[in-house]
Amino acid sequence: MPPSVDLKGALSLLEKVMIQRKSAGFDTVAISEEGMNRLQSLPITFMRAGRPASTPVQAAAPRATITEVKSPPAQPASTPAPAPVSKPASEPAPIPQAAPQVIENPYGDLAEKTELRGRVEVIHPAGKSVREKLNNLFRIAKRCDVCRGMGTLRDQLVFAAGNPEADIMYIGEAPGFEEEEQKKPFVGPAGQKLDQILKAMGLQREDVYISNILKYRPKIGDGRFQEKSERKPTPDELAASVKFVRSEIEVIRPKVIVVLGGTAAEGLLDMSGSVTSLRGRFYELDGIPVSVTYHPRHLLRVESEPDKEQARQEKRKVWEDALALMEKLGMPISEKQRGFFSK
């Protein structure tokens, strides 16, 4: 660690990160290779700080080696048996949550307070209007020391898009190449497929709010030659960023949340399992009904397969989920819409 580095400030930041991880129920902190090297050099730095400049310092081996240990996979929450796809449960299935606990606010004037709900931190951003609160939350996400300190995420923040006053909030897992380029979620091929689903429902992108759990694109290697290659976010990466989308939910308070894909369901609802086993019913998060459906990327994948009937059946499932959502909100449904896949 260079002598010019503010050692006290660096240690204070490390302490805050560890406290936040501990309060969120995690026993480990993800550390990049560069961060590991700096930590292991701390004994030499301390010795230099306590000796005159003329005193030679011998390299000392670190007393302990810090290693990254991945947290065990989340256990599936106990939920009622799946209801038939064509008849989603009328009552939301509650997700077990601990009572909120107010914790120290590390965000200064950008937030009014922050609290723990189970293992997740929920930020209450400052502001008089919804847009002002979201703008402050954007600033907090852009300064996310935990996200940047992991060393596995790229630098471009991709926050959200759409109508902050919307009744429906769509949540995916992470931005991709196109999203990183345009700094908006769901603008690539999967986003175009989502637009088609919305159009069939009688909606436009401007009628809904669209976000991702992870606000930064997952890095492959050092990211220099990644181009359009993508990878699935890790549980630790989702855990580091889920506080932002939970805080968005608190600000927007949509009438219904739609989770796109199994990875997003695991990150937001802390539930593991295939989309097939999770869809067909409504859950409840912070008092808001939540449905799980296939990610539009899944439809693109099955459409490219030679089995056209399978692709038709998968698209039918997504449309059944869309109809259940429309019924939940009391939206008008025409006979044409109900009969899209009747033949």
- Determine the Cα–Cα distance for residues 193 and 190; give it in Å rounded to an integer: 5
Is residue 119 situated within a structural domain? yes
Structure tokens of 174? 């992470």
Give 134's Cβ-side CA count (13 Å radius). 18
Measured over all CA atoms, what is the biggest interatomic distance in the chain, rounded to whole angstroms? 87
Is residue 78 situated within a structural domain? no
Q: Judge whether 329 and 168 are in contact, CB under 8 Å.
A: yes
Q: How confident is the model at residue 101 (pLDDT cuts 50, 70, 90)?
A: confident
The better pLDDT of the pair 87, 93 is held by 93
CATH number, position 309: 3.40.470.10
Considering the domain architecture, whether residues 35 and 114 belong to the same structural domain is answered as no
Considering the domain architecture, whether residues 58 and 157 belong to the same structural domain is answered as no
228-265 pLDDT tens trace: 999 999 999 999 999 999 999 999 999 999 999 999 99
Give me the residues paired with residue 160 across strands: 211
167-208 pLDDT tens trace: 999 999 999 999 999 999 999 999 999 999 999 999 999 999
Is residue 90 scored above 60 in pLDDT?
no
- Determine the Cα–Cα distance for residues 134 and 126; give it in Å rounded to an integer: 9
Last residue of a domain, which of 21, 39, 72? 72
The better pLDDT of the pair 204, 148 is held by 204
Average pLDDT of 298-307? 94
Of residues 38, 90, 3, 2, the one with CA closest to residue 327: 90
Give me the residues paired with residue 84 across strands: none
Residue 12 has what pLDDT? 54
Is residue 2 scored above 70 in pLDDT?
no
Q: Judge whether 191 and 296 are in contact, CB under 8 Å.
A: yes
Considering the domain architecture, whether residues 149 and 14 belong to the same structural domain is answered as no
The better pLDDT of the pair 139, 3 is held by 139
Is residue 83 situated within a structural domain? no
Considering the domain architecture, whether residues 65 and 97 belong to the same structural domain is answered as no
Query: Look-up: residue for tokens 């006053």?
Result: 165
Q: How confident is the model at residue 93 (pLDDT cuts 50, 70, 90)?
A: low
Q: How many domains does the chain have?
A: 2
Could you list the residue range(s) of the whole structural domain that residue 53 is in?
1-72
Amino acid in the structure at residue 249: I
Q: Judge whether 197 and 318 are in contact, CB under 8 Å.
A: yes
Residue 60 has what pLDDT? 33
- Pairing type for strands 288-293 and 256-260 reads parallel
Question: What is the phi/psi pair of residue 232, to 5°?
Answer: -75, 135
The answer for residues whose C-beta is within 8 angstroms of residue 168's C-beta and 6 or more apart is 203, 207, 208, 209, 254, 255, 256, 257, 258, 325, 329
Rounded to whole angstroms, what are the CA distances from 271 to 95, 309, 313? 9, 30, 25
- Determine the Cα–Cα distance for residues 18 and 27; give it in Å rounded to an integer: 9
Residue 20 has what pLDDT? 58
- Determine the Cα–Cα distance for residues 271 and 77; give it in Å rounded to an integer: 6
Residue 343 has what pLDDT? 63
Last residue of a domain, which of 24, 40, 72? 72
What share of the chain has pLDDT > 90, as a percent? 66
Query: Look-up: residue for tokens 């109508």?
Result: 163
Is residue 159 situated within a structural domain? yes
Q: Average pLDDT over the chain, rounded to whole?
A: 81
Is residue 298 scored above 90 in pLDDT?
yes
Is residue 103 scored above 80 in pLDDT?
no
19-78 pLDDT tens trace: 555 545 555 565 655 555 666 555 544 444 444 433 333 333 332 222 232 333 434 444
Is residue 131 situated within a structural domain? yes
Is residue 121 situated within a structural domain? yes
Considering the domain architecture, whether residues 213 and 109 belong to the same structural domain is answered as yes
Q: Could you count the other beta carbons within 10 Å of the beta carbon of residue 72?
A: 8
Considering the domain architecture, whether residues 64 and 111 belong to the same structural domain is answered as no
Is residue 132 scored above 50 in pLDDT?
yes
Considering the domain architecture, whether residues 33 and 170 belong to the same structural domain is answered as no
Amino acid in the structure at residue 121: E
Contacts 24+ apart (CB under 8 A), 76-85: 76/271, 76/272, 76/273, 77/269, 77/270, 77/271, 79/271, 79/283, 80/281, 82/277, 82/280, 82/281, 83/280, 83/281, 84/280, 85/279, 85/280, 85/317, 85/320
Considering the domain architecture, whether residues 240 and 108 belong to the same structural domain is answered as yes
Considering the domain architecture, whether residues 66 and 99 belong to the same structural domain is answered as no
Contacts 24+ apart (CB under 8 A), 70-74: 70/28, 70/234, 70/235, 70/236, 71/26, 71/27, 71/28, 71/235, 71/236, 71/239, 73/235, 73/272, 74/235, 74/266, 74/270, 74/271, 74/272
213-233 pLDDT tens trace: 999 999 999 999 999 999 999
Is residue 58 situated within a structural domain? yes
Q: Judge whether 145 and 231 are in contact, CB under 8 Å.
A: no
Considering the domain architecture, whether residues 31 and 139 belong to the same structural domain is answered as no
Q: How confident is the model at residue 342 (pLDDT cuts 50, 70, 90)?
A: confident
The better pLDDT of the pair 343, 168 is held by 168
Considering the domain architecture, whether residues 27 and 104 belong to the same structural domain is answered as no
The better pLDDT of the pair 310, 34 is held by 310
Last residue of a domain, which of 39, 72, 105? 72
Considering the domain architecture, whether residues 179 and 288 belong to the same structural domain is answered as yes
Is residue 79 situated within a structural domain? no
Residue 119 has what pLDDT? 87
